[in-house]
């Protein structure tokens, strides 16, 4: 079973232990176009499921990184803030946005697996 889940807001989340890595899906970056600015939360801050956890701006639109889970931000991908275009190059791997220590692992149950997400965007 994959440990990667997807939200209806087009974020992916991969869980290892009690830490979740969160980014935007390939579908999201395709819809946004060329990403030109990324703003991420401070390490140590708390994010809440369903609320804004960052800002993503592209040549087409501004969007929010919507938290798919709640928890404490333990790491951010500073490379994205320095070079936001990386979000278009490898969105579902090296261009992750934040790492969060989960405060409620049961929130993962409301997210989709890969097959469900593929059907959702079809």
Q: For each successive 10 residues of the chain (122 residues), what is the average pLDDT?
A: 86 96 96 95 97 95 95 96 94 96 96 96 95
Is the Cα dihedral 58, 97, 22, 70 positive or negative?
Answer: negative
The number of folded domains in the chain is: 1
54 φψ region: left (φ > 0), alpha (ψ -120 to 50), beta (else):
left
What CATH number is associated with residue 56? 2.40.50.100
User: Is 99 within 8 Å of 75 (Cβ atoms)?
Assistant: yes
Q: Determine, yes or no, domain membership for 29.
A: yes
Predicted local confidence at residue 2, as pLDDT? 60
Q: Determine, yes or no, domain membership for 64.
A: yes
Q: Determine, yes or no, domain membership for 109.
A: no
């Amino acid at each position: 079973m994959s440990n990667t889940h997807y939200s209806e807001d087009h974020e992916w989340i991969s869980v290892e232990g009690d830490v979740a890595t969160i980014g935007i899906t390939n579908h999201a970056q395709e819809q946004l176009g060329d990403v030109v600015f990324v703003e991420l939360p401070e390490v140590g801050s708390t994010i809440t499921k369903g609320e804004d956890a960052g800002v993503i701006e592209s040549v087409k639109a501004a969007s929010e990184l919507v938290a798919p889970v709640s928890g404490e931000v333990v790491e951010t991908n500073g490379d994205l803030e320095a070079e936001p275009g990386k979000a278009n190059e490898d969105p579902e791997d090296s261009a992750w946005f934040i790492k969060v220590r989960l405060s409620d692992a049961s929130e993962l149950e409301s997210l989709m697996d890969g097959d469900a997400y593929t059907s959702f965007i079809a």
